[in-house]
A and B are shown apart, each in its own frame.
Chain A
Amino acid sequence: METKPSDFRVPDIFADWCPGCGNFGIMNALQMAFAELGLEPHRVVMVSGIGCSGKQAHNVRVNGVHTLHGRTLPFATGVKVANPELEVIAIGGDGDGLGIGAGHFVNAGRRNIDMTYIIHNNGVYGLTKGQASPTLKRDLKTKSLPKPNINDAVNPIGLAIISGYTFVGRSYAFDVRHLKDIIKQAIQHKGLAFVDCLQPCPTYNDINTKDWYAGEDRRDALGKPQSRLYKLEEAGFDPLVRDWKEDWQKKATALEKAQEWGDKIPIGVFYKKEYESTFEERISGRIPFYAERPPAKQKLGNEKGISTVDLSEFLDDLKTS
């Protein structure tokens, strides 16, 4: 049976984001991506953090786990390790993933678990009324900041690449089709995929607005706005790492691209490596039947519920007779 984006709408739920919020675009892109991939809702788990983005988990009809600020990845990791058959999508804000959760962001890269992590990147902490997030550039003063931002910004794409994410892409919340394609690629990628999703915050970020991204302030001779975003795939950028010998070179090229900002902002896939072993494969190397009988699928007891674990492997070393 063909699945439609509407199959992933949650009845009786009101998405309470501000009018014009980029989250609507991301929600639509997620629903479209899930539908096009033909995912069964019960097999998908969306794990989210705290902030406006956290509510994303309630607005798509798949399993939703709305967790703690910054802890999206640890929860998602636990879900996936216990049952690798699940399609796990982690969702978080820029403050969630790159501020309070930055340690998890980096360490997740070391494991390369086969899941997708989408950061909603709007430069501000929206739900607490517009403080600077880790991705807001230094010296910018968005609407509700009493003084310009004193901290430098984190580069999410760069951090993901050097942390070991094996798929690193970026898209834009109001280019729903492009975002949907990037999300689909991220889900289909074997390994940990990161999507940096740029989005305006119409209420608190009065600098990186929809108009700013669209280049309304810079029109060509014909009066046509010159969008600040350009697509890597259209610029002939090749993100694919084919073997380990070119890995560092590809990383360096991707990092260079990740530096671009301001009047030319790349979206698309920056880096993609398919041959790296996933965490699940590494576990399977130790537990050969892990894929068929992961922790969530083990019986634990016999038909009467009696635990049948044979402790002799432990006890033999401890015996004194």
Chain B
Amino acid sequence: MVTESINWMAGGAQGAGVDTAANIFGKACGYGGLYVFGRREYHSNIKGLHSYFHLRVSLKEILANVNDVNLLAAFDAETVVRHIQEVTPEGGIIVDAMEMNRKILDIPTLPPEFKVQLDNFLKENGIGETLKDLLDFAEKKNVHVFPVPYIALLNKIGKQLNISQISKITRMINVLTIGVSFALLKYDKSLVEKAVKSMFPEKIATMNIVAFNEAYDYALRVFKDKLSFKLERTDAKEERIFVTGNQAVAMGKVLGGCRVQTYYPITPAADESEYLEEHQILKTGSEEEAIVVVQTEDEIAAINSASGAVMAGARAATSTSGPGFSLMAEGLSWAGHSEVPVVVTYYQRGAPATGLPTRHGQADLRFAMHAGHGEFPRIILASGDIRECFYDAANVFNLAEKYQMPVIHLIDKAMANCSQTYPVFPHEDFKIDRGAFLTEKDIDGKEYKRFSFTSNGISPRVALGTKGAVHWYTGDEHNETGHISEEVPNRRKMIEKRMMKLQLVDREIPSEEKMNFYGDKSSENVVVSWGSPKGAIIEASEMLKEEGFSLGFLQMRMLHPLPVEAVKRVLAGRKRIIDVEDNFTAQLAGVIKEKTGISPNFYILKYTGRPTTTTEIYEALKAILTGKASERQVLMSGN
């Protein structure tokens, strides 16, 4: 049977090449015209602890992750133990034949609290102590087990390639499991070879292709047609890319004119800066341009250097996560006060404190809204998927410069590290709007004041260095010239001038750019959410629609200033308002209630550090729509 979609997972110790395996798998499927959605999960660890990559592959566009796994490629015993319950009936597990007798409770990397859980599970189901016992249990549930002698096969491959060092050979376990996976799925080998060639230098690609073929042929010979579903290539209608959120943001930034990026290493933001540095020379229609990437000594320096670059006339941004943003609070306040259009790309992760540094979270909305002492204007724009990450990353520079205020582009770990296939993002008509930005010619001998009072609060900017326009900035309250002033009437006017710009944002930017609505416009049920749960909500709503349930979905994008009237219009009079967020306190719901007086009556929340899946959103929404849910449901899926 040719399947419309499959869910494949690779898992193993960190450093064992799980990411590489997933990228080869995803790209090979992409080359076959299929849509791919990948979710990457890893510990805060360099080598040894469990990591996995879950890939959905389908003929149709995929928007989110699900709970199920159809084929599990386990590099090690722990992967089997951790994910066996996710494997569906008729699905398969590829496992090292030599690991069968391993006592699973003795796996050293299993944390004590997981062992307790596992021990209970084994006892409840009368499962013995070895990996084989566990796999036998799965087989009773119609899961196919595919034991492969990893080392024997690798030795054979090593001989072919003249490699004797065992450490070098075991590095190819990932490619080996890919070979077995694709053989079981009867997928076109040439596409996998193409993927490998696109990712590695020739010599390494050749080695990997030999290993892949050996494993592929072995599995075809030994397992034949044991798996009941096949994966077939199709013709893609258009040119596509397989892209992560980090990469999409980086591309969006250079499109949007970002020419200085500062950062201090932090997960999950740093990948973006490294990617930018790798591609720092930018071809354009005429002469080349370039982005300068500066790794600063801390996040305090990062935001303030970015502000410095902005005052000198560049478009500049800094990228960080929660702990780094905490350090940026004072600099943000300075930028807001000094009307410096700096951009902060904020990748939320599991918090507070160090929290779950490599995991997901959406608990920083309130922090992004309120960080920094005093009252000053800012814009917060939250992307809901990788495509939005791209366009928003470009557009935030226009918003920042037009309204002369810091813009925080809120993203989360789920988007940063997910990879997804998309038609190449059209970007040929992106317009740079620098707002009121004067040059030497505009000044032309006239007196220039950086903070001149105007009817809408926007004082035309110049870059430091503009002839005829010597000017001043200060973090003290200042007069129009930019010199310190503590005078009462001036203070009132300056505060009002700055805050007035938010009204401009309210008036000038249409609500379609601030929020999206999906599904049934007139439904009595409406889901409200922001950020990465978007995809799961849309998919779950479509599933429910097929079952006859009606749902609308309001995705909030501009979270500050909140488009209050538009939100009121959408939410007023609905019977059920269901808030979905990956945090404990339902922060968006709180903001909406504060600004509109409208409260959701149901909450679906998740704060385990793992992104929401379509499966669990579907179940939670259905429970609400069928009257079986409590007001607050907490989601738990993921490993």
Question: For residues 93 through 113 of chain A, which have their beta carbon under 8 Å from a beta carbon of chain B?
Answer: 103-104, 106-107
Count residues on chain A whose CB falls below 8 Å from chain B CBs. 69
A2 part of interface (Cβ distance < 8 Å)? no
Which residues of A are found within 8 Å of B433, using beta-carbon distances? 305
Whether A74 and B304, one on each chain, are in contact in the complex, defined by CB atoms closer than 8 angstroms, is yes
Q: Does A250 contact B (CB under 8 A)?
A: no
A84 to chain B: closest CB distance in Å? 10
Number of B residues whose C-beta is below 8 Å from A? 85
Q: Are B312 and A296 in contact (CB under 8 A)?
A: yes
> Are A300 and B308 in contact, with the CB atoms below 8 A?
no
A77 B305 Cβ-Cβ under 8 A: yes
The answer to whether B313 touches A310 (Cβ under 8 A) is no
Closest chain-B Cβ to A248's Cβ sits at a distance in Å of 24
Given known contacts A82-B260, A295-B314, A305-B432, is B466 in contact with A75 (CB within 8 Å)? no
Tell me whether A71 and B331 are in contact (CB under 8 A). yes
Known contacts A66-B474, A78-B260, A82-B314: A309-B282 contact under CB 8 Å? yes
Tell me if A299 is interfacial: C-beta within 8 Å of chain B. yes
B300 at the interface (CB under 8 A from A): yes
| Contact between B308 and A41, CB atoms less than 8 A apart | no
**Known A-B contacts A68-B330, A321-B239; A307 and B256 likewise in contact (beta carbons under 8 Å):** yes
A302 at the B interface (CB under 8 A): yes
Q: Which chain A residue has the least Cβ–Cβ distance from B291?
A: A295
- Chain B residue numbers with a CB within 8 Å of A286 are 280
Would you list which residues of chain A between 57 and 98 have a CB under 8 Å from chain B? 57-58, 61-68, 71, 73-83, 85-86
Interface centre among A286, A301, A312, A318 (most CB of B within 10 A): A318
Q: Does A42 contact B (CB under 8 A)?
A: yes
B236 within 8 A of A: yes
Interface residues of A in 253-307 (CB under 8 A from B): 283, 286-287, 289-290, 293-302, 304-307
> Would you give the shortest CB distance from A99 to chain B, in whole angstroms?
14
Residues of A within 8 A of B280 (CB): 286-287
Residue from A55, A293, A307 in contact with B394 in the complex, judged by beta carbons closer than 8 Å: A307
Does residue A13 face the partner (Cβ distance < 8 Å to B)? yes
Tell yes or no: B247 within 8 A of A by CB: yes
CA distance A313 to B282 in the complex (A): 8
User: How far apart sit A308 and B288, CA to CA, in the bound complex (Å)?
Assistant: 10
Q: Is the CB of B309 within 8 A of A104?
A: no
Q: Check B567 for interface membership: any CB of A closer than 8 A.
A: no
**In whole Å, how far is A67's beta carbon from the nearest beta carbon of chain B?**
6
By a CB distance below 8 angstroms, the chain B residues around A74 are: 296, 300-302, 304-305, 308
Contact A66 B421 (CB under 8 A): no
Partner of A104, one of B243, B285, B301, B311: B301
Per-position 1/0 for A31-57, Cβ under 8 A of B: 000000000111101010010000101
Partner-contacting stretch, out of B108-116, B423-431, B503-511, B576-584: B423-431
Distance to closest chain A CB from B430 (angstroms)? 5
A315 lies within 8 A of chain B by Cβ:
yes
- Chain A residues whose C-beta falls within 8 Å of the C-beta of B316 in the assembled complex: 78, 82, 295
Q: Is the CB of B429 within 8 A of A77?
A: no
- Contact A293 B334, beta carbon cutoff 8 Å: no
Inter-subunit contact B470/A41 (CB<8 Å) = yes
Q: Is A319 an interface residue (CB 8 A)?
A: yes
A321 with B464: CB separation less than 8 A: no
Give CA–CA (A147, B601) in the complex, Å: 60
Minimum distance in angstroms from B56 CB to a CB of chain A: 15
Q: List chain B residues, Cβ under 8 A from A319.
A: 239-241, 424
15 contacts between A and B (CB under 8 A): A66-B476, A78-B260, A78-B311, A78-B312, A81-B294, A82-B316, A293-B287, A294-B292, A295-B259, A295-B316, A300-B257, A305-B433, A313-B281, A314-B250, A314-B251
B residues touching A (Cβ–Cβ < 8 Å)? 27, 30-31, 198, 236, 239-243, 247, 250-251, 254-257, 259-260, 262, 279-292, 294, 296-298, 300-302, 304-316, 330-331, 334, 394, 421, 424, 427-434, 463-476, 482-484
Q: Which 7 A-B pairs have the closest CB atoms?
A: A78-B308, A320-B30, A78-B305, A295-B259, A308-B285, A295-B314, A66-B474
- Given contacts A77-B296, A307-B432, A310-B282, could you give 13 more A-B pairs where the C-beta distance is less than 8 Å? A45-B465, A65-B311, A66-B473, A66-B476, A75-B305, A78-B312, A295-B292, A306-B430, A306-B432, A307-B257, A307-B427, A318-B247, A320-B240
